[in-house]
Chain A
Amino acid sequence: MDFLTIVQILDSTVRLATPLLLACLAGLWSERAGIFDIGLEGKMLAAAFFSAAIAFTTGSVWLGLFAGIVASVFLSGLHGVASITFRGNQLISGVAINFLAAGLTVVIAQTWFQQGGRTPQLATESRFGNIVLPGAETRIRDIAQQGPLGQVYSELISGHSILVYVALLMVPLTWFLLYRTRFGLRLRAVGENPAAVDTAGVSVVGLRYAAVVICGVLCGLAGAYLATALNAGFVKDMSAGRGFIALAALIFAKWRPWYALSACLLFGLFDAIGNRYQNIQLGEFIVPVQFMQALPYILVVIVLAGLVGKAIPPRAGGEPYVKER
């Protein structure tokens, strides 16, 4: 394996980790405020469909992105109404949202485009193109001519869509907002001890709704990235369990932003390796591709089993807050 191959694998790691990272941070915001969200998958899927559909009909990928975010925030709001206002079961609400998105996207796609539940292929100008940083090469033949540093710069750092850079920026932003602002402190407190926040005269309901909306926006970005940057259009069930891998990464990262980045990059790497090599030969053993696909899930079970550190969720997670009377 030469150096360029490694760089290429890392490059596709970044691409594949981006939707995971955005969804993972979305889950982080929601769960830090005490709202469990297993509906990340559904929100991503809805955003993927609406961003592709609107980008196709209007020709503008930015309008598509906006539509995707609106769809995702709508589902977030539904989750909020069910789990904050009506104090319903947050897990059941998440399950419902996943199915709602899985069903509605195909039903609407069939009505709008009559292509068996998918959107038409997006043209290059209605997708997010790759940004070429100054001085970077774009053609693989030119990149191969460069030295190692140039290869890393041209292949790995340059040439991603804007959403990749946005996702990476979201990590320090999330960290800063959660740990260095008053809003973040209150939001984390709501996830640990809502009664204390309430006693301090801050609205628990307001903070939790704010968290779900932020979660919706981030999931919207993740979905739009899937349909308009990573792929060219929407196909049925295209999120393909990424929402759950993001959830897995969130637990793996123990609900912390920087760890979330490394967890998502790790799971992205598995995905990239699995895509590139079908079966991996390790000495005598052949590691089947299915094992690589299942690896994130297996790792999470191991982490949850407490074999590698202990993952402690926000204490008030999953509990609806009932004001004392």
Chain B
Amino acid sequence: MLATIMFLWLAFSVLLAAQQPVFDREVRPILERNCLGCHNQKLKMSNFSIATRTELLKGGKRGGSPARILEAIRQEGNLRMPPSYKLKQEEIAIVEKWITAGASMPESAFVKTDAKPNHWAFAPVKRPLVPEVRNAPWARTPVDRFILARLEKARMTPSPEAPKGTLLRRLFLDAAGLPPSPDELQAFLNDTRPDAWQQWVARALDSPHYGERWARRWLDQARYADSDGGSRDEPRQIWRYRDWVIRATQNDMPFDRFVLEQLAGDLLPNATNDQLIATGFHRNSPIQIEAGTDREQYRTEAVVDRVDTTGTVFLGLSVGCARCHDHKYDPISNREYYQLYAFFNSTDDWSEDRPRYNARFNNLVHVHGPLVEFAAPDVIERRNDVLLKLVTLDEKLTDYKRENKVKADDPFVKETEAEIARLQTLLPKGLEGSMIQRELPRPRETHIMLSGDYLHKGDRVYPNTPSFLGALPARETPLNRLDFARWLTARDNPLLARVAVNRIWQEYFGRGIVETENDFGTQGTPPTHPELLDWLAAELMDSGWSRKHIHRLILNSAVYRQSSEARDDLMESDPRNLLLARQTRLRLDSEIVRDVSLVASGLLSPKVGGPSVFPPQPAAAMSASQIKKVWKASSGEDRYRRGMYTFFWRVTPHPALIVFDAPNGMTACTRRNRSNTPLQALTLMNDTAFHEMAQAFALRLLRESTPGLRLDHAFRVALARQPHAKERERLQTLLATERDDLATHPEEAGKLLASTAPKDVDRLELAAWTTMARVILNMDEFITRE
């Protein structure tokens, strides 16, 4: 009897639940995400707050009843909310049902208390239990169990494993950004060891190019570039920072250390040169050099850039929103923003107390300092001394010329020019350095800037961390960047590890476990697999912050090894592939599009690190800048370096990089766009550099294979697989047509070949294969990680 009553009661409540939305689970997130930003107790836009039930029922300036809310969200009348978009149909339906059922909610549902907000990302990382699954044999790693548990719940099955060649190419491209060679492919196909895959994962992660591949991702976030980005876009010396990132990544420097040294390496006791170079991270801010500029304004903008970048990169939070007012959605107040700002406000930057920029002597040391420099101290001292004298003399001369009518033989002018000429001979040239952070001996005062305007100072504030993540205890000496970095990398920071593993994950699957990889706040998307995210974050920290450990976990998983082919059943049940019942095809990164072509052509220089290089680019690419810049294409090895070493002018970046969505280096980029445009086609088809690679690919094919096996070889080199029958047929037709055409127009062959093409090959055949090579290098699959 009791059981029956229990059963009936249960059934009834289930029924009820189906009819009436549960406030906390269904309604609250909709209101929080879409309405509360403006209609909270503080902002109370249009005099309307939904923070308490009483206020919600009372209504605002534009009407009172809950019916009015419905009208607004349906956007049928003249009151349309939210103002810039419309709620999803199912969201409207939920709100509608909830209101019709009497809009029940806790009285103070959205009243802010001082307690930490109840948001998943701000809660401590706790290692979850690895779930049980039915199809246990499928799971190769704990990662798989998290994914499979979710799939099983949704009654979906994972995809079969991708073909072996595809898998190896995927592994090599993901781990090192370079495809496998035909020999490696063959060895892998022949490898019958039971743990063959684990062995090859280990091998790929040990590649000397692993560091480059994953460093480039970090450089996106560091907004790395080789020039200032302002009006003059002067070149800067900071490639050693890039080298530092490559080395630290290659050596799997513990991630907490990696972060700490970049933010505050200069403040470590007995900081090494390497630790100083690491602080280049926050010297990547653009610098504006223009006559007549208020340098304080741009110093301020650089600090803002550093604060916002810090929030985005390490915390996955849009702290920048709090520059002008309290954050609308996340618990960061305007005051807390400036407390954070204060940590970064005392670095030595180009400001009013340094010499101006002087175009005649190009005193970039003054603009770019502080630097770590590699010349002997006395040489540096002489340079500083002479340069300062030159700049001062030149200013004196300008003043003199302004104030006097100067004749051609003016003695003062003559004398000064002579002295300038003499000094110039003493100026040591070509000194090498790298931009670093350095703390001023006395910290700058920080004030709240009213509405974010540097000229309107509000209250004075002192460095501290946001209270919802744990404010630091007060201390006699002011807190500094090192304190901040220690706080950030502490085990109990809930965000750093979560944000980091999520960004690694998104590179493998095209989307993070949290899709909004730069917003872990209340407005971000919730994680698709929250336990997996926390498990990975715990693994990162417990492995001694080893990023390679995370890579290994993912690469060894079955979920990673699935086929990426679309499935009819999934088109219906999971069109966006959120649950990962298959892998995803990903177009390669801009730099790697170049790299794979270089590898196919056999031209790639494997050199790791060093100064930026100048591969060929269209002649007019530099013509749009204010200051004319010369792009002299590198020769020899440097002409064929990996794309990540291409000199990056912020104002006039290499067109082939930008066209495939390389980030512009102006703000931190935490996820790249993957556009698909006609200009990309023009680049791959017609660009000199890519044409050169196609020519070399063709020559390589002639050299390395016999006619009957040539096409197979080409596919193995480029795609790590054999051609299908239809592909073979189509390309044989093309080859035959090309041969015929060239036989009738042999003069065209000469034009098609590189001037360096050797004389001992069949030139007509080489020309025919040049077209074949171009076609293969233009296949979508070639620039895609399948």
Question: Do chains A and B stick together as partners?
Answer: no
Interface residues of B (CB under 8 A from A): none
Interface residues of A (CB under 8 A from B): none
